[in-house]
Amino acid sequence: MSAPLADEPARRTVRERRLVHRGPIWDVVADDVELDPGVVVTREVIDHPGAVAVVALDPDDRVLLQRQYRHPAGLEMWEPPAGLLDVVGEDALTAAQRELYEEADLRATRWDLLVDYSTTPGGSTEALRVFLARDLVEVPAAERFEREHEEAGMPARWLPLEEAVDAVLTGGLHNPNTVVGVLAAAQARARGWSTLRPAETPWPHRRRHVMADVDPRA
């Protein structure tokens, strides 16, 4: 019997690394990387802190999606609660719980790891961890987070999981967290949730910190 299929960590020699752009959230670095002996190519990489997303399911297996404007795509996208891993020392599960509370006024008493993925492995270090949140509890009005900017007016919709799957497969929904999260949740449910992993599962594929040896962020 063959071993389970899995991506494997790999390294190539970086001959030179240059900071192309320093941004408030992520940087861009240019690597001169030796792919094979004597074969050196330049690859520009977005050094991203990573992010989490939350597929929240209610007792009727409806998934929560919120509409948010995404400027690079030029779309108002329906997507699950999500956020950057930009709080120093915060683990992924805590970040997901915070995002569900801040963006959706919800807490959950049951958390599982649904799926991990890399958003753009050809050009970014961004790693995404998608959690499944169930046994939801609405946050009392007096304890709710005060949202601002684009998050202040995000419409929300509870959609049966089957309808969300149809919307993905017919091209209506494009946000990667929605596509990956909805399809993974549907497949996990079809398998009796047997594919779920503990929410605290180690995450070795999170950010590479490619700028750590160049110009550390203050």
What's the one-letter identity of residue 115? V
- For residue 43, the enclosing domain spans 13-47
Among 34, 102, 151, 162, the active-site one is 151
Highest averaged pLDDT of the listed ranges 1-5, 118-122, 147-151, 169-173:
169-173
* SS3 state at 183: helix
pLDDT of residue 142: 80
Q: How many domains does the chain have?
A: 2
Give, in order, the Cα–Cα distances in Å from 170 to each of 4, 61, 194.
31, 20, 27
In a domain, 8, yes or no: no
Whether the pLDDT of residue 218 is over 50: the answer is no
Read off the pLDDT of residues 20-50 as tens digits, 9 standing for 90 and up: 999 998 899 999 999 999 999 999 999 999 9
In a domain, 102, yes or no: yes
Same-domain check for residues 25 and 76: no
Read off the pLDDT of residues 44-102 as tens digits, 9 standing for 90 and up: 999 999 999 999 999 999 999 999 999 999 999 999 999 999 888 899 999 999 999 99
Same-domain check for residues 107 and 191: yes
Same-domain check for residues 108 and 18: no
Residue 178's CATH number: 3.90.79.10
In a domain, 212, yes or no: no
In a domain, 205, yes or no: no
Same-domain check for residues 116 and 57: yes
Give, in order, the Cα–Cα distances in Å from 205 to each of 49, 86, 121.
12, 16, 11
pLDDT of residue 5: 92
Same-domain check for residues 69 and 17: no
In a domain, 159, yes or no: yes
Same-domain check for residues 25 and 106: no
Same-domain check for residues 35 and 60: no
pLDDT band at 213 (very low <50, low <70, confident <90, very high): very low
Q: Residue 33 is encoded by which pair of tokens?
A: 């990387």
In a domain, 207, yes or no: no
Same-domain check for residues 62 and 157: yes
In a domain, 156, yes or no: yes
Same-domain check for residues 64 and 24: no
Same-domain check for residues 158 and 71: yes
Whether the pLDDT of residue 211 is over 60: the answer is no
Same-domain check for residues 105 and 33: no
Cβ atoms within 10 Å, residue 126: 22
pLDDT of residue 210: 55
Active site residue 151: yes
Specify whether the CB–CB gap between 29 and 208 falls below 8 A. no
Read off the pLDDT of residues 127-186 as tens digits, 9 standing for 90 and up: 999 999 999 999 987 877 675 666 657 899 999 999 999 999 999 999 999 999 999 999
Same-domain check for residues 62 and 99: yes
In a domain, 210, yes or no: no
